[in-house]
Amino acid sequence: MAKRDYYEVLGVERGASEADLKKAYRRLAMKFHPDRNPGDKEAEDKFKEANEAYEVLSDDSKRAAYDQYGHAGVDPSMGGGAGGAGFGGANFSDIFGDVFSDFFGGGRGGSRGGVQRGADLRYTLELDLEEAVRGTTVSIRVPTLVNCKPCDGTGAKKGSAPVTCPTCGGVGQVRMQQGFFSVQQTCPRCHGQGRIISDPCESCHGEGRVEEFKNLSVKVPAGVDTGDRIRLASEGEAGMHGGPAGDLYVVISVREHSIFQRDGKHLFCEVPISFTDAALGGELEVPTLDGRVKLKIPEGTQTGKQFRLRGKGVAPVRGGGPGDLMCRVAVETPVNLDRRQRELLEEFRASLEGNSSHSPKASGWFEGVKRFFGDL
Ligand SMILES: [Zn+2]
Ligand SMILES: [Zn+2]
């Protein structure tokens, strides 16, 4: 199946900034997350596609390679991408090393003799703001490649064993003479494995690994935010032919909250306030993550005024004191007035007539308008 352009997948311009990419990816990830679309194959595919696109475009060097060479520059199949919920074909290793090692005879450490470290995996974990702030332990179910039991990861049928490749003598590389140059290339017979399996194991078809779901318990520390990564060492894909396993990266994505917006360690919320309280002063009940607290409002408070509640924000995961909660008051115009209330307000309006000292903003504004027309 032909792959779609990564920029098109995320719905952004080619020159999109990192923040735009993140925003676009977040929107898609939220929309198509398998937890929200159980059993919906199309949503799952869209989710994987977005994960893959973001994986590449969020990494400067991968993005540069993609811009120059297209999909060929960043083929995730080299990393052995996993399928299933929550995954993109994540491979955090250096693509240039993979693409060019054949030509420079470099060979990545450990790939000799068929032993290869398993790929790193990425899992997107959605949390509520409260969970992210307080920390939590969640169990996740991740599809991954594990060592095949019948053959013990060797890929060879029980009773048989892989044999050293006769073409390269187990090195995985062969030297070829090309004109003046002697070029080292991956052995065509064993594809760099150094060993060949003449009698492959039936349950893994010689791969040495099989796909399996693993249940893992993830301890999320208090204070994490969207984009933070928790590394679970050796919980990624099993290595090839007995190589060490890769790591699993759990990437945090915090859901939007109905009351609070978060910016780093600070929280923001908007609190409606009656115009009489705003004018006369009063006491408000405002929500915090630890419950309600009282907030004194001085008389003459204007709409948009922000009150800072020190220490009622989030204690960041990397240490340091907690941030603040900023409550922005919004003065509310009273509605559905009865006759008596109307009379009171009519009387009140009349009492203001001709005295601009009660309206600090309006008088300043009219001064500005006057100056503006005077300058014309
Ligand atoms: Zn060979
Ligand atoms: Zn096997």
- Asked whether the beta carbons of 269 and 286 are under 8 A apart, the reply is yes
Measured in angstroms, how far is the CA atom of residue 148 from the centroid of ligand 2? 5
Residues whose beta carbons lie less than 5 angstroms from ion ligand 2:
148, 151, 201, 203-204
Quick one: tokens of 213? 């779901």
Query: Edge-to-edge strands of the sheet including 248-254?
Result: 121-127, 248-254, 229-232
pLDDT by residue, tens only, the chain of 376 residues: 578 899 999 999 888 888 888 888 888 887 888 777 778 888 888 888 888 888 888 888 888 888 887 887 776 544 333 333 333 333 333 322 232 223 323 333 344 456 778 889 999 999 999 999 999 999 999 888 888 888 888 888 888 888 888 988 888 888 877 777 778 888 888 888 888 888 899 888 888 888 888 899 999 999 999 999 999 999 988 887 678 889 999 999 999 999 999 999 999 999 999 999 999 999 999 999 989 999 999 999 999 999 999 999 999 998 889 999 999 999 999 999 999 999 999 999 999 888 878 888 877 787 888 888 877 6
Q: Is 327 annotated as a binding residue?
A: no
Q: Is 148 annotated as a binding residue?
A: yes
The ligand placed nearest to the CA atom of residue 166 is 1
Whole-number Å distance between alpha carbons of 71 and 48:
15
Measured in angstroms, how far is the CA atom of residue 210 from the centroid of ligand 2? 8
Quick one: tokens of 68? 């120059």
The ligand placed nearest to the CA atom of residue 202 is 2
pTM of the model: 0.56
Q: Is 151 annotated as a binding residue?
A: yes
Of 256, 213, 205, 194, whose CA–CA distance to 26 is shortest?
256
